[in-house]
Amino acid sequence: MSTVTKPDTRRLDFGDLMHRYGTFVILIVLLAVASMLSDVFLTQRNLMNVLRQVAATGLMAVGMLFVILTRGIDLSVGSVSALGSVVSAVLVQQMAPGLAIGATVVVGAACGLVSGLLVAFLRLPAFVTTLAVMTIARGAAFIASSGQPIRMGEAGQTITAFGTGFVAGVPYPVLLMLAVFVIAGLVLTYTRFGRLVKAIGSNRDAVRLSGISVSRYEVAVYVISGILAAAAGIISSSRTGIGSANIGVGAELDAIAAVVIGGASLMGGRGSALNTFVGVFILGIIANLMNLANVPGYHQQVFMGVIIIGAMLLQYGSSFFRR
Amino acid sequence: MTEVVQLSGIRKSFGGIHALKGVDFVLRSGEVHALLGENGAGKSTLMRVLGGEHLPSEGEIRIDGLSAVFHRPADAMQRGIVVIHQEMALVPDLSVAENIFLAELPRLISWREMKRRARDIIQRLGFDIQPQAMVRDLSVAQQQVVEIAKALSRNARVIVFDEPTAVLSVQDAERLLTIIRDLRDQGVGVVYISHRLDEVFRIADRMTVMKDGTTVGMVEKSAVTIDDVIRMMVGRRLDALFGEDVPREIGRELLRTEGLGRGNVVRDVSLTVRAGEIVGLGGLVGAGRTELVRLIFGADRHDAGRIFVAGQQMRIRRPGDAVRAGIGLVPESRKDQGVVLDMPIRVNATMARLDPLTNLVGVVRRRAERQAVDALSDQLRIKASSQDAPVSSLSGGNQQKVVLAKWFHAEGRVLIFDEPTRGVDVGAKTEIYSLIRRFAAEGKAVLVVSSEHHELFGLCDRILVMREGRLAGQLMPPDYSEEKLLKLAMTSNANAA
């Protein structure tokens, strides 16, 4: 039977607006609330602090964004960052810092490659596949570090210098994160790769039937995610100069939360780098606020969850209640 | 023999489409009543009304002479009416016994009792299926038996079979026909929908022929021949949809397949299409036409045969291979496979050939792309507010033109259309026909799959007809008639056509 397409009724209503610009509304509300609650909040020092604390999450969120755009998910990023942290700390003792970092990135890429090949070619569900890679990477990190924190010491000076240094008042890790976000934004907007990644998430069949090798792109996004997760691991250990298999526990959830608060669809095809950055920033502000307000650690987790649900309701709930 | 079902003046519309325009249908108990008609004649819709899946917009359903209103399938089942669809309604991960009694499972299941009753019913049908076997592990024929058993467990007095043998092997189909005869002899009223006319003539007592949402007539089997029935199904239609054909020069062979096949869905298909030629692929739904063109395009992988483009053998294992070989496919399901609905027209139109619009680092050259898409929009007369508008904002006809634009931009040599005008309004249809012709006139090879026969007649230089995965024959212009096409598509003694 033939179907009749409904005429396009595009009204600018509240739900639609919230859906599109909700992320920014949340950011503005949060900034307003924060500046009322605390005199310290809106200082440059504090804002830089917020950004530095989310630098690692931000890198992982960019990788997650690419994966989610293809309608996938990467649960392994937290563990891969731990592996990256340990591997960089071990290798930096044995080789030039540049080489050590390069090798660490390769390890991250390899983790992503495993997930990507399994998901793209064997069509295994991304959720379970990356869950498995998550435990493998975490285990490998513990093995490589023998369960002990590894001091980078003298050899790791370049890395710690990067972790603690500033340029014009902006910490290096923050610069790196911003650069990665800008590049991701450009890639998504202007390149064939970015365009096809979104198209694949939106309608995989149609892209495949246009003669495009969909699997290659799917593998690529997991590799990107693995690389950025390993880089996030290096960033995490660069401030303290200690590589540890214990970092990044639950970081995948922060990354997913940032992407989703940024308005991306877990069904693929929709999301942007700018919005994801705002999502990351929002998570950072909430954590920072609770610190400034002396909310105890465990309570913070509960609040964080509640606030994330609230943010989602604001974006999606209004269109739900309209029905 | 009493009249167990009486449908009178049944109308049903979906949106603006009138699927049923006042249908009368009478079924007696203890008869096999065939319901015949072309695809889209309204047979399945009528049976969905009887089975409680659709509420009719108008008209009356009488069961045993009493007026009835069915809001949901359960209401119809209550009155002993069961519709068995082609896509069966079984739960694959439950056992045979659980499936048979699914609707009336007691809160606490006595396995022994349930298995015993299931075995009884299955044996009554002359089959041997273990009640504890998982439905997933059964053959299609066995699953159908479970469906019938499910119907019998509810004391069905009317059973509707919608294309029951389409998915069965010859032997299994034979056994099914035996079961149906037994059911009839036990007093069940059977409605039998099938495209296999020889089969229908063996089993039916009476036939009702439908066309375009109305009944053409009801006949006793003994009073008619297959040719009479085909003539009733076809009727007469005239179309001035096709406009002028442009002069085309038929050149060298561009596409050839040799013994192409996949499983038993497509078997041993050898065909050629020449430059400037438009070749049609006719046949019934499920004859393997879509499956065949998907093999040629690499959307599915063939396991037998070879594909040649311009005389050269091509290894086509995925769509990318086909596109590189110069083949394009306008797929059957536009929204699922043809376009990325949420993305702009521009992105969709250039997707199949981004290379010339991309620089070394992979950045798309926007200005060049805009110019290319502007040219395509003009050429194909795509009506849209801007090339950045999402395809979802376009009408069906314009969406289809975006798919055409994609393949015009890809500059292939062979273009395959699968149901090119499905869900497209009349005006856009004419435009699409002339675009297909223009494409051929440029010296390219065109293959068109269509279930609308007049579309094939109006557009194609010759028509290949498929039946059950094979090429059943070919029609050339003086022979273009629906009778001949249907005869090739529906009967096994095709040579008599």
Question: A207 and B396 in contact by Cβ < 8 A?
Answer: no
Lowest pLDDT segment from A67-71, B236-240, B260-264, B456-460: B236-240
B17: nearest CB among A2, A198, A202? A2
% of chain A exceeding 70 in pLDDT = 93
Contact A1 B423 (CB under 8 A): no
Q: Mean pLDDT for chain A? A: 89
* Per-residue pLDDT tens over the stretch A240-258: 899 999 999 999 999 999 9
pLDDT band at A3 (very low <50, low <70, confident <90, very high): very low
Query: Residue B1: what pLDDT?
Result: 62
Coil, helix or strand at residue B26:
strand
Q: What is the pLDDT of residue A128?
A: 96
Q: Which residue shows structure tokens 């497209």?
A: B424
Contacts B342 to A, Cβ<8 Å: 202-203, 269-270
Q: Tell me the ipTM for this assembly.
A: 0.84
Q: Please provide the DSSP assignment of B106-152 as one string.
A: -SS--HHHHHHHHHHHHHHTT----TTSBGGGS-HHHHHHHHHHHHH
Per-residue pLDDT reduced to its tens digit, B325-348 = 999 999 988 888 999 999 999 999
Q: What are phi and psi for residue A257, nearest 5 degrees?
A: -60, -45
Mean pLDDT (chain B, rounded): 88
pLDDT at position B497: 37
DSSP string, B186-240: TT-EEEEE-S-HHHHHHH-SEEEEEETTEEEEEEEGGG--HHHHHHHHH------
Provide mean pLDDT across the span B125-142.
Answer: 87
Measured distance CA(B314)–CA(B256) in Å, rounded: 10
Residue in A195, A203, A211 nearest the CB of B322: A211
User: Cα separation of B283 and B468, whole Å?
Assistant: 9
Give tens-digit pLDDT for B383-441. 888 999 999 888 888 999 999 999 999 999 999 999 998 777 767 788 899 899 999 99
Q: So what's the pLDDT on residue B238?
A: 42
Q: How far is B336 from chain A (nearest CA, A)?
A: 7
CA distance B297 to chain A (A): 8
Give yes or no for A199 touching B (CB within 8 A).
yes
Are the beta carbons of A192 and B338 separated by less than 8 Å? no
pLDDT of B487 over the 50 cut = yes
- Residue of chain B whose alpha carbon sits nearest to that of A4: B15
Q: What is the pLDDT of residue A208?
A: 95
Indicate whether A308 pLDDT > 90: no
Q: Residue A322: is its pLDDT beyond 80?
A: no
| Nearest residue of A to residue B20, measured between CA atoms | A1
- pLDDT (0 to 100) of residue A4: 38
Whether chain B has a CB inside 8 Å of the CB on A203: the answer is: yes
Q: Give backbone dihedrals phi and psi of A151, rounded to 5 degrees, phi first.
A: -80, 130
Q: Which pairing describes strands B414-418 and B327-330: parallel, antiparallel, or unpaired?
A: parallel
pLDDT score at B491: 76
The lowest-confidence range among A150-154, A216-220, A318-322, B464-468 is: A318-322
Closest to B27 in 3D by CA, of B182, B193, B163, B142: B193
Say whether B342 and A269 touch across the interface (CB within 8 A): yes
pLDDT band at A6 (very low <50, low <70, confident <90, very high): very low
Stretch A101-118: mean pLDDT, rounded?
A: 97
> How many whole angstroms separate alpha carbon B49 and alpha carbon B55?
6
Chain B interface disruption, residue of A196, A200, A209, most B CBs within 10 A:
A209
Under 8 Å between Cβ of B266 and B464: no
The residue behind tokens 């090429």 is B471
Model pLDDT, residue B384: 85
Q: What is the pLDDT of residue A265?
A: 85
Rama region for B2: left / alpha / beta (φ>0; ψ in -120 to 50; rest):
beta
A209/B297 CB distance under 8 A: yes
Inter-chain residue contact A206 with B406, CB threshold 8 Å: no
